[in-house]
Amino acid sequence: MGHIREYYERIVKLKDNEWEFIASHFDRKVFAKNEIITRQGQTESHLSFIETGIVRFYIPNEENELTFNFCFDKEFTCAYHSFLTQTPSEYELQALTESIAWQISYSDLQKVYAQTTAGNYLGRLISEKLFLQKSKRELSLLKHTAKERYLNLFNEQPDILKYIPLKYVASYIGITPQALSRIRRQIA
């Protein structure tokens, strides 16, 4: 739980009583490598803080899965649209490695928002951060070539290139694995 407090305190200093109230609503969960955390069609009921591990966001498809995001250590994650609206998720979350998560339920998070100033403030900032990441990704897909998107990963998200299989990297930047191989040969 100390990692969550460190994450929060990079943004705002927590009073001990606020932290104790917030921490009391989280539960530890371990996901095996390749385990599905949230299934398509399932309503997301928990916000998760990934203590260790890597999570992939994707749209399952028999012919070609579409990977569109990753979450690494020390980040919050969930099927966010489903979580906020309490409606079925249109995509899945999968643990790419064994992952340890601290989870808070939707109803408990609402209590934290209502009963702590810091929790409410942090929730807003985390939501804003997720929105900005999503907007940046959408603009990148619209403005940049596949080669530019691949090269940007070196600067902006090197962990993706270091830890993620290339077939998922290709899907993430919106191309086929064969096209990614061509780009990698051009760069080398």
Strand ranges of the sheet holding 75-77, from the earlier edge strand across to the other edge: 26-31, 99-105, 46-52, 75-77
Neighbours of 77 (CB within 10 A): 23
> What's the whole-model pTM score?
0.89
DSSP string, 23-80: HTTEEEEEE-TT-EEE-TTSBP-EEEEEEE--EEEEE--SS--EEEEEE-TTEEES-H
| pLDDT band for position 11 (cuts 50, 70, 90) | confident
Predicted confidence (pLDDT) per residue in 73-119, tens digit: 999 999 999 999 999 999 999 999 999 999 999 999 999 999 998 88
Predicted confidence (pLDDT) per residue in 134-186, tens digit: 899 899 999 999 999 999 988 888 888 889 999 999 999 999 999 999 999 99
